[in-house]
Amino acid sequence: MYKIGVMGGRETVMGFKALGLEVYPVDNAEEARRTFRDVTGGDSQLAILYVEENLAEALRHDIDRFKDTPTPAIILIPGRDGSLGLGLSALQAAVERAVGTNIL
C-alpha cells in the first residue's frame, strides 16, 4: 500500500502526523538530503512526498530526478513562515509541460 509523507521543519510536519501521514522532520539541508534519499530510494512505498519549500533549493537535483516519474510525486508546500512561491512555480511548469502552454 502506498503512503503519503511530509518532510520539513518539525513545526511544519508534526501536524500532518495526526492525519496519518508519514512525517520526516529535518533541521538542516544536509539532513534533508539524507532523509530525502532514504525515503525515495530502493523500494520506497511513497506515492506522494510533500517537501517544505525552504528545503527545495538544497534538494533541487534530487527532486528533479522524479520530475518525470509517477511515484513519488514531489509537491512543494509552504512552511510556517509562509510561501516562497516555489510550489506555484513548480505547478505552473508541470502544467506547461503537460498542456504545452501556461494555462494558469
Burial classification of residue 28, based on how many CB atoms lie within 10 Å of its CB (0-12 exposed, 13-18 middle, 19 or more buried): exposed
d(CA 36, CA 6): 10
Which H/E stretch holds residue 14?
helix 10-17
Q: C-alpha grid cell for residue 85?
A: 512561491
Q: What is the pLDDT of residues 2-42, one digit of tens each?
A: 999 999 999 889 999 999 999 999 999 999 999 999 999 88
**Full set of structural domains in the chain with CATH:** 3-99 (3.40.50.10580)
| 87 close to 57: Cβ distance less than 8 angstroms | no
Mean pLDDT of 68-86: 77
What pTM was estimated for this model as a whole? 0.78
